[in-house]
Structure 1
């Protein structure tokens, strides 16, 4: 019985580590968006979706653990590399970094309101106002 309780406690504590995160666009956005497109949009190498509409990336605040997972898994950059990359892009006049917000709920709300935006959130926040285009 004691072992069972310990195992259940471990599973409950571990479940956030297995949370799934998804990349989202507005539900009305009809563009085809691949994870390669996501990477290019977030690195300022692509400014529009496949349908020609502007693509406005939204990210979480510096230091956020999910932002770190996105940067590592999707952009192949750790937080330091990501910040340095955007510092250089801004300094040279070659880009504007993604807009930062504090919470995944804010990301979802902004994407739900604007068809030009793209963001990433916990899959549990997905509803009919947004469309999933990838996961990490």
Structure 2
């Protein structure tokens, strides 16, 4: 029993410690380097609500771990709730969901080449000089 107890406790501690270091940055290609968004503004942007800035939200696919982290920490909803919300918005034609791009690297490239675009990335990724960090979720 003791031989199972230590590895179990150790792996639980490592899992909690590793997940505590996960953080997200929201990055944009914008001329206005002074823009800083609150969590609620970022949530609104990615849920199709209006902001005082002309920005286009770009998202990762539903099975991406960075998206899962973003949804839980910033949006505050599970993927199934978000999918249900967008199904209703598509049906009623009221809002348009963010464009999905396959990988973090591809999102970074898209943002670099498309002014006004905004995406979320893991904080450990290298952000090129021309882009602006609008929000950090630690």
Task: Give TM class, smaller chain.
Answer: 0.7 to 0.9
TM-score using structure 2 length: 0.77
- How far does residue 125 in structure 1 lie from its aligned partner after superposition? 2.4
Other structure's SS at 1:125 match: coil
Q: CA deviation at 1:112?
A: 1.3
Report if aligned partners of 1:24, 1:121 keep a CA contact under 8 Å in 2. Answer: yes
Q: Secondary structure at the match of 2:28?
A: strand
**Is the aligned partner of 1:42 residue 2:46?**
yes
What pairs with 1:1-136 in structure 2 (closer than 5 Å)?
17=19, 18-26=21-29, 28-30=31-33, 32-34=35-37, 35-46=39-50, 49=53, 54-123=54-123, 124-136=125-137
Q: Distance in 1 between matches of 2:51 and 2:30?
A: 19
Cα contact 1:48–1:55 (8 A) shared by 2: no
Distance 1:79 1:45 in 2: 18
CA–CA distance in structure 1, aligned partners of residues 85 and 51 of structure 2: 17
Q: TM-score, length-normalised on structure 1?
A: 0.78
For the aligned residue pairs, the C-alpha RMSD in angstroms reads 2.2
CA contact (8 A) 1:61 1:67 kept: yes
